[in-house]
Chain A
Amino acid sequence: MTILVVAEHDNASLKGATLNTVSAAAKLGGDVVILVAGSAAGAAAEAAARVAGVSKVLVADSAVFADQSAENLASQVVEVVKAAGGAISHVLAPATTFGKNVLPRVAAVLDVAQISEIVAVESADTFVRPIYAGNALATVKSADPVKVITVRTTAFEAAGEGGSASVEQIAAVADSGLSRLTGRELTKSARPELGAAKIIVSGGRGLGSSENYHKVLEPLADKLGAALGASRAAVDAGYVPNDYQVGQTGKIVAPQLYLAVGISGAIQHLAGMKDSKVIVAINKDPEAPIFQVADYGLVADLFEAVPQLTSAV
């Protein structure tokens, strides 16, 4: 049994989400092989070879992967599965926008179901996944010959270093010619990534404006070394870019400490943060639903409480 993990990387290094996916793969019991499909991705391939528990790294290095388009990546994964002639039993990728974009194509071409965002492995064919914004956990069993799975990264530890896998170059697929990347605007930040942060300071509509969001929350985040997050309402209102959104339809996070400031606690928001170890809510409305999941609740005006907190920590 071979488990293929599709690496999310930027050619120079592996994204942290890949390491969590390797841990989920290891729970299936079998050889874990990482596929690095990139363009001048030697460094990422070397990093993959050093991940503990990985037996082999396949590298498809070609300009066709420069854009990381779903079309070309999915074709490559399908080629690898077919070339293995039945040896590959599982294909895994992180349930990030990368994995969600690519893996359903793989499943469709292989004519198998995809199991989305698993949070636990019960056995090689049975998995647990949240449904209805995390209000229910379904245990599902797949009868397909190949299980195509995306992994909720917060549910699995990151695999460590110390591996020494062999690295094998493989032929890259041809370009689909159907899609071209014409622009990328990545949010630049010196702060930790939301998905990997130990502490997250998250702001909602209660902040009132983009200016307030930055003025009130940034000093606190700086002092705590925290990442910044937001509710959908704050993103929709333009306080912060889209990639700050935490929730059912944004990012799923599980930091050691999540500070929700001026966020009411809609189920869609809770779905993205309720697995945090400690939740603090600061809200002026004592009835706000966020207090039902908060370990520590403070009913206060955030414009007074947050600056006080910033000077106290």
Chain B
Amino acid sequence: MKILVPVKRVVDYNVKVRVKSDGTGVDIANVKMSMNPFDEIAVEEAVRLKEAGVATEVVAVSCGVGACQETLRTAMAIGADRGILVETDVELQPLAVAKLLKALCDKEQPQVVICGKQAIDDDANQTGQMLSALMGWPQATFASKVAVSAGKATVTREIDGGLETLEIALPAVVTTDLRLNEPRYATLPNIMKAKKKPLETVKPADLGVDVTPRLTTLKVVEPPKRSAGVMVADVAQLVEKLKNEAKVL
């Protein structure tokens, strides 16, 4: 059984981005880029399924600029067997990514695609669901537990009110939530090994996909800043302020 894992290169979660003064976007020149944390969890889960003998091959895919190769190497250092880069300089929106992934699924025929539930830059939370719909496959989003056996997957999902468990037919799309697993650190020998693993590059046109953005960003601004508050000396003063100044008690 083959597992496909889409991995996105994003601004590292520790970086606090700055909005460009001309309002055209956020400044991501010279900031640290990393694999989207939810995708690390996805790679880890796929590799664990391989280690458990459930999966036979783990293929990582990244769509975007040439530098996404680094993200693919990271996925291979965690344990993915090979990587596919869909290279483009066009700003990719989730629908376009889902179409690229569909074209790759048609070609690669994976039984499971494990995506992150959301990318922490654009926070769209769409791609996995879109891919699943385009393929006509079932989906299990926001997974905190995944078990795969005999043509089906049993997935526990984190939902607003608690947890729910779905049984879905394969092939299917699963998207990861934070508590699915704790990704391993890639060891130096594995990082070295990853450099030798196969990495194929294709273009959206090779896959017959039009990636033209559907949404235009008109401007990007900073949200209103909260005005600085005050420090209180003790609980009595806090209660007094909450009652008489803020009037919330």
Contacts and interface: CB of A to CB of B under 8 A. Distances in A.
**Do A and B form a real pair?**
yes
Contacts of B159: 97-98, 243
A135 B223 contact: yes
Contacts of B111: none
A108 B133 contact: yes
**Secondary structure of the A side of the interface?**
mixed
A42 interface: no
A190 to B, nearest CB: 14
B133 A131 contact: no
A161 B30 CA distance: 52
B51 to A, nearest CB: 23
A280 interface: yes
Contacts of B189: none
Interface string A285-313: 00000011111111110000100110011
Nearest to B159: A97
Nearest to B218: A139
B167 A104 contact: no
A39 to B, nearest CB: 16
B154 to A, nearest CB: 7
A189 B131 CA distance: 36
A83 interface: no
A199 B248 contact: yes
A235 B17 contact: no
Interface residues of B, number: 79
B238 A296 contact: yes
Contacts of A309: 235, 238-239
B209 interface: no
A79 interface: no
B221 to A, nearest CB: 5
B231 interface: yes
B231 A313 contact: no
Given A130-B123, A296-B242, A232 B217 contact: no
Max chain A Cβ within 10 angstroms of own Cβ: one of B126, B130, B137, B141: B126
A285 to B, nearest CB: 13
B164 interface: yes
B217 A185 contact: no
Given A108-B95, A199-B248, A257-B249, A294 B229 contact: yes
Nearest to A271: B123
Interface in A169-214: 176-187, 195, 199
B16 A135 contact: yes
Interface stretch (A23-31, A54-62, A112-120): A112-120
A109 B95 CA distance: 10
A298 B214 contact: no
Contacts of A185: 162-164
B160 to A, nearest CB: 5
27 contacts: A74-B133, A98-B159, A101-B139, A102-B129, A105-B139, A107-B126, A108-B95, A114-B95, A114-B124, A132-B123, A136-B26, A139-B218, A142-B215, A179-B166, A179-B167, A183-B164, A184-B163, A242-B179, A249-B120, A257-B242, A279-B229, A293-B226, A295-B226, A295-B230, A296-B231, A296-B246, A312-B236
Q: In the A-B complex, list the 5 residue pairs whose CB atoms are closest, starting with the nearest.
A: A104-B129, A178-B138, A108-B130, A105-B133, A113-B214
Interface of B: 11, 13, 16-17, 19, 26, 38, 93-95, 98, 117-118, 120-134, 137-142, 144, 154, 157-169, 172, 177-179, 214-223, 226, 228-232, 234-236, 238-239, 241-242, 246, 248-249
